[in-house]
Amino acid sequence: MARLRVALSRDSSSVDHRNRWILRAIGAGARRVVTVIGLLLLIPAGWELIKFATGASNTTMPHVSDIVAHLRTTTSHGNTFAGFLFENAYVTFKASAVGLAIGAVTGLTTGVLIVRSRLVGKGLLPLVVASQTVPIVAIAPALVLWLGTSWTTKVVIAGYLTYFPLTIATARGIQAVSNDSLALMRTYSATRREVLLKIQLPAAMPMIFVGLETAAAFSVIGTIVGEMPVGSPKGLGLVILTTWQYYNFQPEALYGAALAACALGGLMVGFVRVLGRVTLKDRRMGAVL
């Protein structure tokens, strides 16, 4: 009977802890939604204020209402400009997601290798850092010459930009594991693989998700840059390039395409952040259990 009471008490405590976590998550999510909505309202207000204060022309800074109205106009394809942007954003999203996945896997692997091998770390880390000093606009045309004007080129460029944040985040996260945790694993005669899988990677996950959020935004940028010189039939990069050519006639179209790119980047970062919240819950940097 006493054992039953203890078991029921433990179950009740576990349920209470889970309910408190859910309520805190809902409250935090609601505060973030209110903050985002407030910022979304401040941005157009600030835009109009700057336009009024500087006396900028409608060509340089069209009214927010004109940009929104242009989204409802009909294109030559028979759909609205907003629908046209959505179709192209979906094409960019697919390439960005694949590039992010490839960059995440390669970056995670490289980060682990840098930490586990001092020789690899000293030899590889400077090369990884040096690779990021080359402007992406200089690499994109070279990749077009090597890989051709294909979907693969966009994915490679997106993966290239996402590789560095994940590599550094993984390496720094693993290095931040406390010596006490490592010493405890050594007392249990744990192998290096067990230490990595049970201590180092779980403790590094908060830092890895921070790098993944940055990489998610970079993947969209890389895909858009890759869509410009490759002759892609669709994609936000193509839309931005096309609307820029007709900027003097329809400046609202270019700003609409830029808004679509911002929205896509925000959605990808938001998805990674939600995934991190669900995966990590209340854990912080260095926490394992």
Nearest to 96 by CA among 253, 231, 205, 236: 236
pLDDT digits (tens, 9 = 90+) for 149-176: 678 888 888 998 899 889 989 988 888 8
Our CA dihedral for 151, 216, 88, 102, rounded to 10 degrees, sits at 20
Range 62-280: architecture per CATH: Orthogonal Bundle (1.10)
Question: What contacts 31, CB < 8 A, 6 or more positions away?
Answer: none
Which residue(s) pair with 281 in the sheet? none
Q: Please give the model's pTM, rounded to 2 decimal places.
A: 0.79
pLDDT score recorded for residue 93: 95
Q: At what angle do helices 64-71 and 2-54 cross, to 10 degrees?
A: 110
Q: For the chain, what are the domain ranges? A: 17-56, 62-280
Instruction: Tell me the per-residue pLDDT of 39-83, one tens digit each, with 9 for 90 and over.
Output: 778 888 888 899 888 888 888 889 889 999 999 988 877 789 999
d(CA 111, CA 163): 10
